[in-house]
Amino acid sequence: MRITIVAVGKIKEKYLTEGIAEYQKRLSPFARLEIVEVPEERMAKEPSAADKEKTLAREGERLLARVPKDSYRILLDVRGESRSSEELAARLDTLAGEGQSDIAFLIGGPFGLSDDVRAAVDERISFSRLTFTHQMIRLLLVEQIYRAFKINRGEKYHW
């Protein structure tokens, strides 16, 4: 399976980059994981609604342009459906069973997502009603993907 995470912005904190690298290494026996970063748009300190919409649209276009062709697109979105770790594992297993070997997870930037991005994906999931930084959610996503593979293999992950 090939998994691509397409995310807005760069990871700046060393502890996050180290954590992501660790889970990428752990995932290597199960899947090929690639992380693609697209530049964050700058936004004025107090943007108008129209300025915000234009900024999110430009960011969204760049995000969608980097999704590998024919990938099943899953957007991490606060408005998405909540999933447990077991449900995420089952979903990935179902997609694999249906012959979907390319999966792309999309993560927006600090200003949110455009409606065009929401409309262009196959499904939207939410990790929590809590708010996380777009950088931190990347680490949580990689860990949850790893956990999903462990669950699907029937291996213990947490005691």
Paired tokens of 53? 């919409």
Residue 55: partners with Cβ closer than 8 Å, 6 or more residues away: 41, 42, 43, 47, 111
Tell me the angle at which helices 14-27 and 134-152 cross, rounded to the nearest 10 degrees. 20
* Alpha carbons 66 and 135: distance in angstroms, whole number: 18
Chain-centroid distance, C-alpha 21: 15
Q: What is the pTM of this model?
A: 0.93
Residue 159 predicted with pLDDT over 60: no
DSSP β-ladder status, 2-8 and 32-38: parallel
Arithmetic mean of pLDDT over the chain: 93
Helix (H, G, I), strand (E, B) or coil at 41: coil
Q: Read off the DSSP letter of residue 67.
A: S
Beta pairing partners, 3: 33, 103
Type and span of the H or E element at 34: strand 32-38
For the chain, the structural domain boundaries read 2-152
User: For 52-103, how does the pLDDT look when each residue is reduced to its tens digit (9 = 90+)?
Assistant: 889 899 999 999 999 999 999 999 998 899 999 999 999 999 999 999 999 9
Phi, psi of 43 (to 5 degrees): -130, 145
Q: Quick check: helix, strand or coil at residue 45?
A: coil
CATH superfamily of 2-152: SPOUT methyltransferase, trefoil knot domain (3.40.1280.10)
